[in-house]
Amino acid sequence: MHSGDIRQQLRAARRALASADQKKAAKALTQRLISQTYFLQAKHIGLYLANDGEIDPHGIIQAASSLNITCYLPVIDRATNNSLCFAEYNEKTELKPNKFNILEPFITNKDCRLPKDLDLILMPLVGFDREGNRIGMGGGYYDRTLAFMKTTKRDAPKLIGLAHSCQEVSSIDRQSWDITLNLIATEKQIICAKPR
């Protein structure tokens, strides 16, 4: 099956989840993730605001705030327009829709933090497999932003995909530019990626 077809099917599946099921899944994922050592020891976390049926990390944001962990949202880099930087986020942050109508902090580039300066990046996804491969929305923003990780041996940022368990697929064809996840967190479990 063509990757575009898989993407459409998986997006439809997550959007089809009832609101109560969405909330229950987000709560279960949050409880699972916020007890992990790598979360508790983090100081700077990149994450996202849920859109298009993505599992909602709002509870993670609240937990991070109570632990004095600084949260950051992705912002389309105005200099390149094809990669992301990360801007500090809290309940007082002014947000505006980007070109995809996704809310992001209203900032200048000087207010951006580079991904290499984050401890964790919690990433949205459309589909995943247990080897850490991810199907995103198709724009390649995270892959371009994190391309430095292919050439540097770094422990940070740790890349964690957040998903509903129904978004798992048996195998995703990895492209040369794809950046793999370290972990995938769902409402049912945290999966340690085992790359081929």
pLDDT digits (tens, 9 = 90+) for 142-182: 999 999 888 877 677 999 999 999 999 988 888 888 899 99
pLDDT at 1 > cutoff 60? no
For residue 61, give the H/E element and its range.
helix 58-66
Strand partners, 89: 71
Task: Measure the CA–CA gap between 49 and 87, rounded to whole angstroms.
Answer: 13
Task: Measure the CA–CA gap between 95 and 138, rounded to whole angstroms.
Answer: 23
End-to-end CA distance of the chain: 21
12 vs 36: which has the higher pLDDT? 36
Q: List the structure tokens of 40.
A: 């508790």
**Residue 163 contacts residue 185 (beta carbons within 8 Å):** yes
Task: Measure the CA–CA gap between 167 and 125, rounded to whole angstroms.
Answer: 8
Q: Is the pTM of this model over 0.85?
A: yes
Q: How many helices (H) and strands (E) does the chain have?
A: 5, 12
Domains of the chain by residue range: 3-192
Q: Which fold has domain 3-192?
A: Rossmann fold (3.40.50)
